Homo-oligomer: A and B are copies of this chain.
Amino acid sequence: MPNEHLKDEPAKEKPENPITASAAGEKRGDKYQRILEAAVEVIAEHGFFNARVADIAQRAGVADGTIYLYFKSKDQILMAAISNAFGAFLELARAEVKSASEPRDQLRRLALLHLTSLGSNRNLAIVFQTELRQSARFLAQFSQHQLKQYFDLIREVVRKGQDQGVFRGDLSDKIVANCFFGSLDEMVTSWLLSERDYSLPGAADAVVDVILGGVETRRPS
* B175-A210 in contact (CB<8A): yes
Interface string of A173-197 (1 = CB under 8 A from B): 0111011011111110110010000
**A144 proximal to B (CB < 8 A):** yes
**A15 proximal to B (CB < 8 A):** no
- B130, B138, B171: which contacts A134 (Cβ < 8 A)? B130
Taken together, the copies of this chain in the complex come to 4
Number of interface residues of A (CB under 8 A): 47
Determine how close the nearest CB of chain B comes to the CB of A55; give it in whole angstroms. Answer: 16
Task: Collect the chain B residues with CB atoms within 8 Å of residue A179's CB.
Answer: 179, 182-183, 186-187, 207, 210-211
* A184-B187 in contact (CB<8A): no
* A187-B175 in contact (CB<8A): yes
Determine how close the nearest CB of chain B comes to the CB of A134; give it in whole angstroms. Answer: 6
Determine how close the nearest CB of chain B comes to the CB of A75; give it in whole angstroms. Answer: 11
Bound together, the chains give a CA A137 to CA B130 distance in angstroms of: 9
* A129-B138 in contact (CB<8A): no
Interface string of A148-186 (1 = CB under 8 A from B): 000100000000000000001001101110110111111
Question: Nearest 9 pairs between A and B by C-beta?
Answer: A182-B186, A213-B214, A214-B214, A49-B49, A210-B214, A182-B182, A179-B183, A182-B183, A178-B186
